[in-house]
Amino acid sequence: MIILKSFRLFLILMLLTGIIYPLGIMTAAKMLFHDHSCGSMVTRNGMPVGSALLAQKFETERYFHPRPSACDFATIPSGAGNQGATSKALTQSVRERASKLLASHALPLTASIPADLLLASGSGLDPHISPEAMDFQLEMVARARNLNPEKRARLRKLARELIESPQFGIFGEPRVNVLLLNLALDDL
């Protein structure tokens, strides 16, 4: 008897929490926040080029680069390196990233690099970099695009404008969305 009753209760609650609830939320989400519920897609010339929330790979020096991704920006599945403070592998990749960055930015060996460009993100898809990391890459991008001084000034201004401050002035850290920055850069 207890088994039968439990089974019936389970079925009802399963229906309620596994079908009605998620579908109800979906209906509300589509009505209230349609774009958000479908992945916050960004379009250019009517074509989707990515999600504003997910980092994508940028390799050429014409674009700002997102933070290192231990899973190489894979989305299915995403992942992190999970290396600890005494990991030889992590120490080595940090060194390699540093020398690569210094070379591509034509900087002396003593130059300091923003930490978020040396250390990989948690999701492997962190869409943001710190404002310092953006400043750090400005020169590389401007050089790769052969920008004249006037355009350089505009790029600098644009970059300033794209810094997101902490949400509501309180939560989180100041940051720059790399994809949105790069799209704005192409329109410069």
Partner 1 sequence: MKIMDIVQISLYFGILGILTLLLGSYIFRVLGKDRQGALDSFSRMDNAILRLVVGGRGTYEMTWKEYAFSLLVFNGIGFFALVLLQLFQAGLPLNPQKLPDVPFWLAFNTAVSFMTNTNWQAYSGEAVMSYLTQMLGLCVQNFLSAATGMGVLLALARGLKRQSAKTVGNFWVDVTRTTLYVLLPLSIILAVLLVSQGVVQSLAPYATVKTVEGGSQVIPLGPAASQIAIKQLGTNGGGFFGVNSAHPFENPTPFSNFLEMLAILLIPAVSVYMFGLMVGSRRHGACLFAAMLAILLAGFIVAWWSETRVNPMIGSPCWMEGKEIRFGVMNSVLWGCVTTGASNGSVNAMHDSMSPLTGMIPMCNMMMGEIIFGGVGTGLYTMILYVILTVFLTGIMVGRTPEYLGKKIEAREMIWAIIGILLPSAVILVGSAMACLLPAARSSVANGGPHGLSEILYAFTSATENNGSAFTGLNANTVFYNLALSVAMLIGRFGVIIPVLAIAGLLVSKKAAPPSSGTFPTTGVAFVFVLIGVILIVGALTFVPPLFLGPVVEHGLMLRGITF
Separation between Cα atoms, residue 62 and residue 144, nearest integer Å:
5
Least separation in angstroms between residue 149's CB and partner 1 is 26
Residue 29 in the binding site for partner 1 (CB under 8 A):
yes
Per DSSP, what are the bridge partners of residue 34?
A: none
Give the shortest CB-87-to-partner 1 separation in angstroms: 6
- Extract the tokens encoding 54: 């997910």
For residue 65 the two structure tokens come to: 């680069």
Q: Give which of 127, 130, 164 is closest to 50, Cα–Cα.
A: 127
How far apart CA 78 and CA 55 sit, in angstroms, is 11
To partner 1, the closest distance from the beta carbon of 65 in angstroms equals 11
With CB under 8 A as the contact rule, the residue among 45, 46, 85, 187 that binds partner 1 is 85
157 part of the interface to partner 1, by CB under 8 A: no
Q: Could you say whether residue 9 binds partner 1 (CB under 8 A)? A: yes
User: d(Cα 106, Cα 144) in Å, to the nearest integer?
Assistant: 12
Binding to partner 1 by residue 96, rule CB under 8 A?
Answer: no
Minimum distance from residue 152 beta carbon to partner 1 (Å) = 21
Strand order in the sheet with 175-177: 128-129, 175-177, 163-164
Please report, as a single letter, which amino acid is at residue 152: R
Q: Rounded CA gap, 131 and 23, in Å?
A: 39
Q: Which stretch binds partner 1 (CB under 8 A): 102-110, 124-132, 139-147, 155-163?
A: 124-132
Nearer to partner 1 by Cβ, of 148 and 165: the residue is 165
116 or 142, CB closer to partner 1?
A: 116
* Site map 62..81 versus partner 1, x via CB under 8 A: -x---x-----x-xxxxxxx
